[in-house]
Amino acid sequence: MTPGTEPALTPDEWLGGINRDPVLMSLKEGYKKSSKMVFKAPIKEKKSVVVNGIDLLENVPPRTENELLRMFFRQQDEIRRLKEELAQKDIRIRQLQLELKNLRNSPKNC
């Protein structure tokens, strides 16, 4: 007898710590493909990820044109706000770089 192609355990059994010898098969009559065992992954609970009041995991398309327009304008506002924030950060980075350059070039006061 030879270890066969059929699994001795399901993934849940194996993860639960169960151990079993392999399912044996005879090769005297040749190999015969048996029916496939279909594995279904357990359904995991979706955890909501909310950013600015919008659920990122909710991929529900807008039902009406008004909803679509509202979502579009909300995106436009967010893009505008993010661009402004990026511009402010760039200005702050330049200021800090100039401060650092001035500190390196100034004579040391001891």
88: domain range?
62-105
In a domain, 78, yes or no: yes
Mean pLDDT of the chain: 82
Mean pLDDT across the stretch 87-96?
97
* Residue 16 confidence (pLDDT): 84
In a domain, 48, yes or no: no
Question: Could you read off the pLDDT of 9-54 as tens digits, one per residue?
Answer: 888 888 888 888 888 887 777 766 666 667 677 776 666 656 666 6
Residue 75 structure tokens? 């995106």
Q: Which residues pair with 24 in a beta bridge?
A: 3
In a domain, 49, yes or no: no
Strands 24-25 and 2-3: antiparallel
User: How far apart (Å, rounded) are the C-alpha atoms in residues 35 and 51?
Assistant: 47
In a domain, 44, yes or no: no
- Percent of the chain surpassing pLDDT 70: 75
* Residue 36 confidence (pLDDT): 66
Cα angle: 66, vertex 71, 75; to 5 degrees: 145
Strands 54-55 and 2-3: unpaired
